[in-house]
Amino acid sequence: MATQIAGLNYYELDFNADGTLGSDGGLPQAVQAGGVQDVFVLSHGWNSGVDSARSMYNGMFTLLAGMIPDRLGTSIAVGIIWPSLLFPDDDPATAPPTPSTGQQLAAALAPAFPQQQQNVATLGQLLDQRPQDSASLEQFHTLASGLVTSPPLTPEDAGPQAAITADTAAVFGNAAAMSKTPASSAQGIPNPFTSLWNGAEQVLRTMSYYEMKNRAGVIGRNGLGPMIGQLAVANAGIRVHMMGHSFGARLVSFALSGLPPAATGANSPVRTLLLIQGAFSHYSFANPVPNFLVTGPGALSAFAGNINGPLLATFSAADRACGWWYPAASMLAHQDAESIDDLATQWGAMGHDGYQQSPPGTTVTLAAQGTEYNFQPGSFYLLDANAVICADLSPFSGAHSDIQHAQVIWPIVDASR
């Protein structure tokens, strides 16, 4: 059933991890009843639960509603609910951040991995106990890698896969070296197990986020895409404008691959795509992928034509999740890299520098509400958000979640006009 956010009718779609629909919230019936012209869809990325996702939706859709006062009666807002998580140590709401115990991390991870409760509990116990033997480290590596069950779907996005297949000592040692909070040894005496267990915690973070990223693609392709196709059949006149933050940007992007085959060009109900600090490969729409480890087209390059409008993506250097964690997590897949710049080029995320392809897209600076961008259908736009998405909210992710600004929402409203 619909509720309202600032006068805008709001519905929720609840998806399971495999993309099956848990609840449609009455959305199909509302669209079939007629009178709806614009459908604004927004997907959260990592979050600590449904409440935090709804809080974000309330803030973002309140901003949107204030920009379309004359269209509230013919527009609806849709929030996507899907099983994601936020590592508790990365929560911007925790200031200053306090390192979690293994038991606390296990409790935070458990809801997102309902089929692996015992394995998650064991991971937490091992982190708290930190046994001084290699067998326990290898057990931790196996269990953490086992959290990744969703397929990656994209070769250009599979850098962290090396953290599953490589040698345990190499993986944990690399993760410890890349950690923002390296451990110190008591009395200056080096203890290799201390360092490796710190690396183990970083690997657990990487594996949990890697699964969430992969899961987002599956839900977009198997869940949201087909649902949009059904809505277009129920009401051929609707115009769908999709937005996603973080891994949610990957979810709405992969929804393009789940649309009906005929939903291309002018026949597509999708009129706008806005990726807000997208935490997935900046090469996803490229053809070919311009790097030296992956050949061929990006996984979504064949589906760019499934949008009858512009493709927009914000980027900010203050987003450490996209600018630092992404390439750092892929270090083992890129042993020939000479610098972090090489890693950012190879494994960079949308939220770091936007769509990367040839010919390049158009870079524009995020501007105030009312600005006419003159976006063109089928064109890629890199929205420079450095002056807007800039608040340092977390030691891990920086400004990654600093997105509730009118300048962030206005481009999709302008495009929808």
Q: Could you tell me the pTM of the whole model? A: 0.92
Residue at 196 is within a domain: yes
304 is a domain residue: yes
Listed residues 211, 230, 246: the one ending a domain: 211
Final residue of a structural domain among 177, 211, 245: 211
Same domain, 278 and 225: yes
pLDDT computed for residue 108 by the predictor: 87
Any domain includes 175: yes
Q: Which amino acid is at 213?
A: K
Within a domain: 376: yes
Domain assignment present for 91 = no
Residue 103 burial (CB count, 10 A):
13
Look at residue 18 and tell me if it is in a domain.
Answer: yes
DSSP for 88-107, written as a single string: GGG-TTSSS--PPPHHHHHH
Domain count, the chain: 2
| 22, 147, 262 from 114: Cα distances, Å | 15, 11, 37
**Phi/psi of residue 224, each to 5°?**
-70, -40
The answer as to whether 90 is a domain residue is no
CA distance 367 to 134: 54
248 closest CA partner among 415, 403, 94? 403
What does R_g of the chain's alpha carbons equal in angstroms?
21
CATH number at residue 352: 3.40.50
- Name the strand (E) or helix (H) holding 363: strand 362-365
Are 245 and 187 members of one domain?
no
What tokens appear for 82 in the block? 């899907």
Cis amide leading into 92 (omega within 30): no
Amino acid at 177: A
Identify the pLDDT of residue 217: 95
Name the pairing type of β-strands 8-15 and 3-5: antiparallel
Contact indicator for 54, 43 with CB cutoff of 8 Å:
no
State whether residue 21 is helix, strand or coil.
strand
Residue 197 vs residues 159, 161, 175, 176, 204: alpha-carbon distances, Å: 22, 20, 10, 8, 11
Q: Degrees (nearest 5) of the Cα angle 47, 180, 402?
A: 40
183 and 217, same domain (yes or no) = no
Q: Quote the DSSP letter at residue 216.
A: H
d(CA 249, CA 247): 5
DSSP per residue, 138-182:
HHHHHHHHTT--S----GGG-GGGHHHHS-HHHHHHHHHHH-SS-
Residue 178 to residue 416: CA distance in whole angstroms:
42
Is residue 147 within 8 Å of 208, Cβ to Cβ? yes
DSSP state letter for 318: T
318 neighbors 195 (Cβ within 8 angstroms): no
Residues 292 and 405 in one domain: yes
Please list, in sequence order, all residues whose beta carbon lies within 8 angstroms of the beta carbon of residue 339, skipping any fewer than 6 positions away. Answer: none
CA 374 to chain CA centroid, nearest Å: 27
Tell whether 37 and 165 lie within a shared domain. no
Residue that finishes a domain, picked among 186, 211, 236: 211
Structural domain that includes position 194: 97-211
Are 170 and 232 within one domain? no
Q: Within this chain, do residues 389 and 367 fall inside the same structural domain, yes or no?
A: yes
Looking at the structure, tell me whether residues 79 and 115 fall in a common domain: no
Please tell me whether residues 358 and 306 are part of one structural domain. Answer: yes
**Which of 84, 25, 24, 411 lies closest to 242, judged by CA?**
411
Residues 151 and 241 in one domain: no
Cβ count within 10 A of residue 398: 24
Q: Please give the chain's pLDDT, 417 residues, in tens.
A: 689 999 999 999 999 999 999 999 999 999 999 999 999 999 999 876 788 899 999 999 999 999 999 999 999 999 999 998 877 777 776 655 677 899 999 998 888 888 999 999 999 999 999 999 999 999 999 999 999 888 877 766 555 677 888 889 888 887 887 665 545 444 455 678 888 999 899 889 888 888 888 899 999 999 999 999 999 999 999 999 999 999 999 999 999 999 999 999 999 999 999 999 999 889 999 998 876 556 788 889 999 999 999 999 999 999 988 887 766 666 555 544 444 555 567 778 899 999 998 899 999 999 999 999 999 999 999 999 999 999 998 888 899 999 999 999 999 999 998
Say if CB 46 and CB 115 are below 8 A apart: no
Same domain, 205 and 217: no
Same domain, 107 and 146: yes
Cβ partners under 8 Å of residue 342, min gap 6:
334
Q: Is residue 404 part of a domain?
A: yes
Question: How many whole angstroms separate alpha carbon 46 and alpha carbon 400?
Answer: 11
